[in-house]
Structure 1
Amino acid sequence: MKRWCQQGNGALLMVMLLAASGLLLMTGMQRQLDSALSLTHDERRYWQTRVLAESSLQWGLGQEWLMGNRSDEQCLGYAAEGLQVCLRQVPGEHYMLLRGEGHLPRSSSVMVLYQRVVPIEPDGETSPLKPITGGWLDFCPERQEAICGG
């Protein structure tokens, strides 16, 4: 009768196979997590620029704008908060176009939002603005994009 000597090769091979498959699964999971983190970062940057653009519009509504020369574009900025807003008369229309921009520091992403507005005191030298109902847009509302600036 022959005696069997177990040397453990089968068990060692099985342990190595399990370790290799575990490593492959963990590598795939890491790639998924990296992709999700990148997507989350992009979405966060999008919302930050959007909030800045909306804040620029709201801030611009409360500012005093020159009403005498409406043909030129007027721009105001509040550097401490990163707000930039510009106002331009739309030729042949009774309303004006307010453009709010959102810029993130150390980033090339910019978001631009538009609001159709009218002056509260059109006959005064300066006036705050009043938004036209339904006049908020996230794209250039004019056929001539040069009117929208940018």
Structure 2
Amino acid sequence: MSRERGMSSLALVLLLLILGSLMLAGLNQQLDALLRIVSAERQAIQHQATAQSALEWGRTLDWQTQVDYACQQHPLQPWRVCLRLTGGRALLIASSDSITLWRLGEVKADGVHFLPHGWSDFCPLKERALCQPQ
């Protein structure tokens, strides 16, 4: 009889071990899924910050008002910003990977002046082709 109790105890321990292993495997799968989500979110935030930095850098540049479209490359960063002039208005375009940001401005006699609240994360023009960097 004592021998039967030992077998039932061993079976209970093995059952607990199997259940624990299944729970750990499930938790590991959840952790992997959440890690992928966090990684994608981190990358999106990084691209957003890069595009905002490029937009601010482009805002500080002296742009020529004689050409309808011009781009400038940052000397130290992989940033490229473009300015499109259409009918007295200016549109500054900056992008990083899949994120593109825009800033509206006005063309005046002394150059381009960007509006204080003119930035946008969607194309502010009716014609989307004009909002794409070339």
TM-score normalised by length of structure 1: 0.80
Higher relative contact order (CA 8 A, sep 6+): 1
Aligned equivalents of 1:11, 1:24: Cα separation in 2: 20
Aligned equivalents of 2:25, 2:35: Cα separation in 1: 15
Calculate the aligned-residue CA RMSD, in Å. 1.6
Q: Which residue of 1 aligns with 2:36?
A: 38
State whether structure 2 residue 90 is matched by structure 1 residue 88: no
Structure holding more helix per residue: 2
Name the SS for the 2:123 alignment partner.
coil
**Map of 1:41-80 to 2, 5 A cutoff?**
41-69=39-67, 71=68, 73-78=69-74, 80=76
Superposition deviation, residue 28 in structure 1: 0.8
**Alignment equivalent of 2:93, drawn from 90, 95, 99:** 99
**Alignment equivalent of 2:126, drawn from 125, 143, 146:** 143
Name the SS for the 1:65 alignment partner.
coil
Q: Are the structure 2 counterparts of residues 79 and 30 from structure 1 closer, same or farther at C-alpha, using a change threshold of 3 Å?
A: farther
Aligned equivalents of 2:47, 2:113: Cα separation in 1: 23
Superposition deviation, residue 15 in structure 1: 0.8
**Once superposed, which parts of structure 1, at least 4 consecutive aligned residues long, lie more than 3 Å away?**
none
Code of the residue aligned with 1:60 in structure 2: it is G
CA contact (8 A) 1:85 1:100 kept: yes
TM-score normalised by length of structure 2: 0.89
Give CA-to-partner distance per residue, 1:56-88, whole Å, 9 cap, x none: 11100111111122x2x1111115222111000
Superposition deviation, residue 110 in structure 1: 2.4
Q: Which residue of 1 aligns with 2:3?
A: 6
Q: Which residue of 2 aligns with 1:123?
A: 109
Aligned equivalents of 1:5, 1:87: Cα separation in 2: 87
Matched residue count: 132
Code of the residue aligned with 2:89 in structure 1: it is Y
Superposition deviation, residue 45 in structure 1: 0.4
Aligned equivalents of 2:51, 2:129: Cα separation in 1: 19
Aligned equivalents of 1:100, 1:85: Cα separation in 2: 5
